[in-house]
Structure 1
Amino acid sequence: MGEVNFMQEEDIQLEITRARFSDVLKRHGELTERLSRDADKVVFEHLQKEFDAARVSQTEDICLDGEEWNDGLLATIRERVHMEADRKTMPGDTNMVPGPHFQEKTTYKVRSKVICCLEGARIGIQYETSFAGEPCELYHCVLESKSFLEKMTVLEHTIPFFLPIREAEIDLLSSNAMKFIDYVGELLQAYVDRREQVRLIKELYGNQIRELYHSLPYHMVEFVLDDSDCKVTASLRYADLVSVVPTRIRVLAWPSKKNIINAATLNRTESGVLGSLRIPARLSYAEDALRTMSLPEEIVLNMSRELQHIFHHQSPS
């Protein structure tokens, strides 16, 4: 019974520490979200108005697919915005009627991206995100360059601060602007996918989820599921920020205090039963499911049967 009392005291201390840590993480997450939302709100409203105005004034809307979206087209867009900007700054041109070429205002739609020519030799990209076929947030990125021959830079954007847009700008924008534009779109969609997966599982199984932690970009996720017979911990790691399915997964089932205490009261500690009961069991079926789909329902739906099978063989006879 001394062993049982020690285990109970140890569990109490762990629960106190866990509760304190959980409260700190919750407050940190709320503060981060509020600061990010408030800082981005003004920029978002300003850019959304500018993009809406560009869409209203357009004379042509072109949908591109596959090879139609290429470096040559992006170069044409860049040339057009610079020619228009130069024309407006040339003296004596205020009363001149622009030719047909300058009157054209084209918006390009490339899958989930909308590319607009903005005032002041700027190119705007609006990213549309979605989850399970339903639209989610819009994000913006505005590129500019001092001349057609100079490299483009990111002027302003509404992309979450924890996604590496500045690193992508350094690595890609100067050498391959099209690849940069596509990569930012992949970053945003993958982030929304991971975030919405976590939101969905919280909605579906909120009463069974005891704790849930995640990094800001949701590329590290951990949660605890409470079952009547045990506690299940899941740890998910994604290879990079454009991954939607986790690559490193660990799902462990820990025996309940009741099972451990019963084994101790039966005086079977010396036989190794207590030790074996305190070792968690891996739920391979859950790990396999997580490798092929997004936080699948099978993890919870099949859990009771799997746990009963596992701990039935470990329980003292």
Structure 2
Amino acid sequence: MSDKLEEMLNVAAAMVSPGRGILAIDESTGTIKKRLDSVNVESTEDNRRGYRQMLLTAENLGEHISGAILFDETLRQSTDGGVLFTQVMQDADVIPGIKVDKGAHPLAGFEGEKITEGLDGLRERLEEYYELGARFAKWRAVITIDEFLPSQTCIDANCHALARYAALCQEAGLVPMVEPEVLMDGDHDIETALQVTELTLKTLFNNLYEQDVILEACILKTSMVVSGSDCAEQANVDEVAEATLDCLLNSVPASLAGIVFLSGGQSEVEATEHLDAMNKIGNLPWPLSFSYGRALQASALKVWGANPKDNVQAGQAELLHRSRMNGLAAQGEYSTDLEEH
């Protein structure tokens, strides 16, 4: 076994180690502006750095956070004291990750659908990111459900791009996190979400196989199977857990290193409850954990944003609480009674 492959296998295993998950703070400049606008903080480079410093310097962050996905800007930044964020993370036993796609753009010829771009020049970017300290990467594709969507063309194009990205990651020594997000926007029921998610995942793993991606050194970041946000009948926690596990067991090879979920618009507690319910069912071939953005950050952002200078520790306390709740959920040991803090 090559040293590079051995490192990737170790990183992938650590990313989904028991009771730990991934903090997603890879918002693009446009998206982080919306987040900061929501708490009346101007989106300057220093304010973005300050917010992410608050998150990454939380004491004992590595207890329930195994890695964090960064944006290009953040990977290059340092603390107020001049310590690189990547060094802060390594000292806390948190693996640095990096978002490498260039965003979702309209899929030519297919109105209402998107294709994620960013393969051009990716090999060189990955080499640089490895040198900067990143040890895993993330690429997100979006699949929209509508009356006549998604098309097979959209699913095929995005899954092919995810597989090409994953192969390039492993060539560079980075663990690929492949993220095909089936959006919860719409009035579709949970059965429709199940069918679309299963088709997407089967297509993805066919492409990963064709591109010779080593699944033992690969992480799937996927959406849970939930009712559309505008659906009149919302599936309950147990229904979401059962539908999601049915989907994964029917479409994801057992050799995959692990699965982490995105929160995709769920509330903080909802995302935790769903993850916990799946792990309570248990007896699965891969670890099931979390890679949440808003569902880990929302309360921390609100508290910090009220007074960025004085509320650093209070914001960190919110992040650490949510991390602990999801760490317990990743082991099927969560209860809403634990939310008091």
- The question of a shared fold, defined as TM-score above 0.5 by the shorter chain, is answered with no
The TM-score, its normalising length taken from structure 2, stands at: 0.24
Which of the two has higher C-alpha Rg? 1
Q: Which has the higher contact order (CA 8 A, sep 6+)?
A: 2
The TM-score, its normalising length taken from structure 1, stands at: 0.26
